[in-house]
Amino acid sequence: MNAFAEFEQAQKEGWANFGPLETITIAAGGRLVQYAGVASGMRVLDVGCGTGVIAITAERLGAQVTGIDLTPKLLARARENSNLAEVEVDWREGDAEELPLHDAEFDIVLSQFASHVCTEAGGRGCGDVPSS
């Protein structure tokens, strides 16, 4: 495994412990969704969705949301949270630097935490992703 792959694996394992901190992100997440102008019918991608705060907030406004995260434990928590909120989000495991998606598939891309790992190198990084 190369150095970058080792770093990525360490991040995947480290972020798995974030779940208990999700409550401190709710207010900022709501403000991010509001600031971004998310509205009903919009196609929204939440990069580094973690426990789903941004994705669920956007879905509750009527958007069609896909949440992508590197960490399976956080995606499991996001699924639990969306079930509690009674919303349907398309949750996917994936890397923010190699998004398994098509160009122009979404109206807006948001990230509360993952924008720090995005780069413009390679052309498919997060680019100008609004973040809180």
Confidence of residue 22 (pLDDT cuts 50, 70, 90): low
Whether 11 maps to a domain, the answer reads yes
Residue 92 lies in a domain: yes
Tell me the average pLDDT across 62-76.
Answer: 94
Calpha distance 131→41 (Å, rounded): 21
CA angle 14, 93, 118 (to 5 degrees): 65
| Of 79, 74, 65, 60, nearest in space to 109 by CA | 65
Which residue segment(s) compose the domain that 66 sits in?
3-117
State residue 15's pLDDT score: 60
On whether residue 123 sits in a domain, the answer given is no
* Within a domain: 61: yes
In a domain, 104, yes or no: yes
Would 127 be classed as within a structural domain? no
Count structural domains, the chain.
Answer: 1
More confident residue, 8 or 100: 100
Residue 125 domain flag: no
Q: What is the pLDDT of residue 23?
A: 65
Question: How much is the pLDDT for 98?
Answer: 81
CATH number at residue 26: 3.40.50.150
